Amino acid sequence: MGWVKRLKDGIQTATRNKKEAPEGIWYKCERCRETSTTKELRENFYKCPKCNYHVRIGSHEYFDLLFDGNYDLLFEELRSTDVLQFTDLKPYPDRLKEAYKKNIVTDAITVAKGKVNRRSLLVAAMDFRFIGGSMGSVVGERIARAIEYGIANRIPLLIISRSGGARMMEAAYSLMQLPKTCGRLTQMARAKVPFFSLMTDPTTGGVTASFAMLGDINMAEPEALIGFAGPRVIKETIKRDLPEGFQTSEFLLEHGFVDTIVDRKDLRETLSDLLFLFEESKLAAIGKGEGSAEMEPAEEEFPGEEEG
């Protein structure tokens, strides 16, 4: 019953924010090439209704899928800067301008605070449309601040990774976001505030080699590309074809690097359950002789959850 309600709620949530859905009325699947309407796509949690391909969605789509209702954006004032005066075929400021012009997000990660089934959660979601979801100083700083915020307010953190890796235009500044975010995560671990990592298509390079792999729970969306080196580089190095399914979520699950693969329609439910299971009062319950609490499903504790 609760499950059905939440599923229904998820659908309604998904239809609320229309501006970032794939443009036009029709969606042609990148994988199976079948056509469906964008409405069908939205109602199916941005998965292809024909083949379940998880479309690459952005930060705000995840917020709408996950949160009960309104949510607050945090650390939006932080903006990328061209600290190295970096120019390749194009100056870095031009790349930034182009990214801002899309008017989708203010950098490759957006942090929001909201409620999932009435429990607080911080979500830092990457967006591939901002310079390939690359990690520069702002991505590192927003994550670092999200962790600090989570520790100070004892709110668990979910980071949704979708990144090609480093932002080369910030060179070593980009590299230093690895030790920076990992250092902060040790403090979150010490404070015993849970950190959940969700890896989506694609998660590679410095993002995988830092926070994305360090979740108390590592999750992945189905069939996402997850790895350290990109497949092209590996192929050039070993000079042979890569096996079928190499570096997919399923491959990582099989090799022991993710805890669970979560279909996007179950994401909210999974997070809700995790928040329930990790809730501090419940972790302390047995010690206090109140061991029955963890047996109760969340929806019985919080009737009327579907109000959102």
Partner 1 sequence: MVFLEFEKPLEVLYEQLEKLKEIGGDGEIDVTETIRNLENKIKNKRKEIYSNLTGWQKVQLSRHPERPYTLFYISQMCKKFIELHGDRCVRDDKAIVGGLASLDGQTVMIIGHQKGINTKMRQYRNFGMANPEGYRKALRLMKMAERFGIPVITLIDTPGAYPGLEAEERGQAEAIARNLFEMAQLRVPIICVIVGEGASGGAIGIGLGDRVYMLENTWYSVISPESCSSILWRSWDYKEQAAEALQLTADQMLGHGLIDGIIKEPVGGAHSYPEEMAKILKRHIKKALSEIMDMDPDVRIDVRIEKYAQMGAYNLAKEEPVKEKKKTEK
Residues from 232 through 251 that contact Zn ion (CB under 5 A): none
> Nearer to partner 1 by C-beta: 29 or 212?
212
- Strands 35-37 and 26-28, how do they pair? antiparallel
Query: By rule CB under 5 A, what string of x and - marks binding of each residue 1-30 to Zn ion?
Result: ----------------------------x-
The interface with partner 1 within residues 187-206 (CB under 8 A) comprises 187, 190, 205-206
3-state secondary structure of 216: coil
Sheet holding 119-126, edge to edge: 109-116, 119-126, 157-163, 195-203, 217-220, 260-261
Cα 256–Cα 157–Cα 177 angle in degrees, nearest 5:
80
Question: Residue 184's binding partner, choosing from Zn ion, partner 1, none, with beta-carbon cut-off 5 to 8 A by kind?
Answer: partner 1
Number of residues that make up the chain? 308
> Nearer to partner 1 by C-beta: 79 or 102?
79
What CA–CA distance (Å, rounded) separates 112 from 124? 6
CB of 118 to partner 1, least distance (A): 16
Strand partners, 91: 87
Query: By rule CB under 5 A, what string of x and - marks binding of each residue 172-211 to Zn ion?
Result: ----------------------------------------
The interface with partner 1 within residues 130-189 (CB under 8 A) comprises 137-138, 140-141, 144, 166, 168, 170-180, 182-187
Backbone φ/ψ region at 112: left (φ over 0), alpha (ψ -120 to 50), beta: beta
Question: Residue 101's binding partner, choosing from Zn ion, partner 1, none, with beta-carbon cut-off 5 to 8 A by kind?
Answer: none
Question: Residue 144 corresponds to which amino acid?
Answer: A
Strand partners, 134: none
Q: How many residues bind Zn ion (CB under 5 A)?
A: 7
Q: Does 63 bind partner 1 (CB under 8 A)?
A: yes
> Nearer to Zn ion by C-beta: 50 or 115?
50
The interface with Zn ion within residues 32-71 (CB under 5 A) comprises 32, 48, 50-51, 53
Distance (Å) of CA 152 to CA 60, 68, 111, 156, 187: 24, 23, 16, 11, 11
What CA–CA distance (Å, rounded) separates 48 from 217? 26
Single out the segment in contact with Zn ion by CB under 5 A; choices: 3-11, 31-39, 120-128, 141-149: 31-39
Q: Does 7 bind partner 1 (CB under 8 A)?
A: no
Q: Does 76 bind partner 1 (CB under 8 A)?
A: yes
What CA–CA distance (Å, rounded) separates 139 from 161? 11
CB of 132 to partner 1, least distance (A): 11
